[in-house]
Structure formats: C-alpha cells, structure tokens
Amino acid sequence: MVSEESSAYLQKVYSAKDNRELEEAYDLWAGKYDEHVTAFGYQIPAVAAGLLGKHVTPETTPILDAGAGTGLMGAVLDALGYQGQVGVDISAGMLKKARERNIYTDLHQMILGEKLDFPSDHFGACQAIGVFTAGHAPASAFDELVRVVRPGGYIIFSLLEDIYAPKGYKEKFETLGNNGKWQLTEKTKKFPGLPLEDPDLFHRVYVYRVC
C-alpha cells in the first residue's frame, strides 16, 4: 500500500538538488526501497526485461546495470539466466542491498555523468532502469555508456517523458545518432512507471544499438 512515508522518500529523491543530496536520500531509502516501489506498482523493470530479452541473449557478458540500486532489475535478469552482471550506483546504501542478492560479479560506486572507470568497448550490453528521471542522472551520462558498450551491443534504458526535451536528452540522443555513435532500435509507448503512486507520470523504454 502506498503510504505517506513511501511518498515522502520518493519526493526526496526527485527533489535532490545535487549528487550529494541524491546519494544521501537513496542511502536513507535503501532499506525500504523494494517494499515501497513494489507498492507503487513499479513496472518499468517488467517492460525493460521484455525488450532486453528481444535483443540481448543470456550469453552476453558482461552486462552493465547502470544505476543498479538494490538490484531489482538485476534480479529479474538473473532469473532469466543472464550472468556476468556488473552494477554501478551513486549510493553505497543501495549497493549494499544489491550485494546481498549475490547476483552481480562486481558492484562499484560510480556516478553516471562522470567518467566511468571501465575500459572502452568493455560491456556486451547495458541497462539503466529508473535512473533517467527527475533529479537523477544527466543526459551527458550517455557519452560514457556509449563508450563502454561494444559496437553491436545494446543500451536499454527508461526515461521520464517530461524531461526528454527540457533536460537535453532529445538533443543528446540526436547528437549521438548524427555522430554515428548509436542507432535507435525501438522505443515503447509512454506508460506510467509507478502507476499506483502517480498514474500521470509517464516513462518510455528505449533500445539503442551502439555503432
């Protein structure tokens, strides 16, 4: 059930003014995050898993979970037989919960939007679910995601519809396309990511192929 407490945690992460506030807010939420987003009807991982399954085989390794959080999406992929998952997240508290799942080969505290400490062309695929939303990872993060995924690999991510043009994602996606860095494979209709908390807040899931 959606509670005042769970809504307050969500508003706190949405309204974070900088990375430090965001990290602190997620550190505080980590213990109750799974319970709360389940109560919100969080359905982006289900949509994203369907799309990932169309384009990425379970033999693909390693797979980057960018903004892994407590590993909710990683756990879905693990159940589907994907192995060699590597997670990064800004919040040590969220990463601690992810570690308890024992499904990742590696977990690192890193910031999307800054340089990622991985070699170029390292990953066979990347998924980033729930991370490109209000007050979270910036459009500039895609430069590094494109760098660390091998040509031919897919980047599957969700994006809050309201920030697509206003926060520079549209421009970034077009620039990466025009520069021959990636190509759009498909995107979903817009759908409510947290339907029981906010049925009017829409997300899409995108699939891009790195060139």
The residues of the shown chain that bind ligand SAM, judged by CB under 6 A, are 22, 26, 45, 67-69, 72-73, 89-91, 94, 111-113, 129-131, 136-137
CB-wise, 60 or 91, nearer to ligand SAM?
A: 91
CB-wise, 178 or 207, nearer to ligand SAM?
A: 207
Residue nearest to ligand SAM (CB): 69
CB-wise, 116 or 210, nearer to ligand SAM?
A: 116
CA atoms of 173 and 97, how far apart (whole Å): 32
Question: Tokens 């990347």 — which residue?
Answer: 126
Minimal distance, residue 137 CB to ligand SAM, in Å: 4
Minimal distance, residue 180 CB to ligand SAM, in Å: 26
Minimal distance, residue 48 CB to ligand SAM, in Å: 8
**Three-state SS for 42?**
coil
CA atoms of 84 and 61, how far apart (whole Å): 5
CB-wise, 26 or 142, nearer to ligand SAM?
A: 26
Q: Which helix (H) or strand (E) element contains residue 95?
A: helix 92-100
In DSSP terms, 182 is beta-bridged to 210
For the record, the structure tokens of 188 come out as 């979903």
CA atoms of 113 and 151, how far apart (whole Å): 21
Minimal distance, residue 45 CB to ligand SAM, in Å: 5
**Three-state SS for 208?**
strand
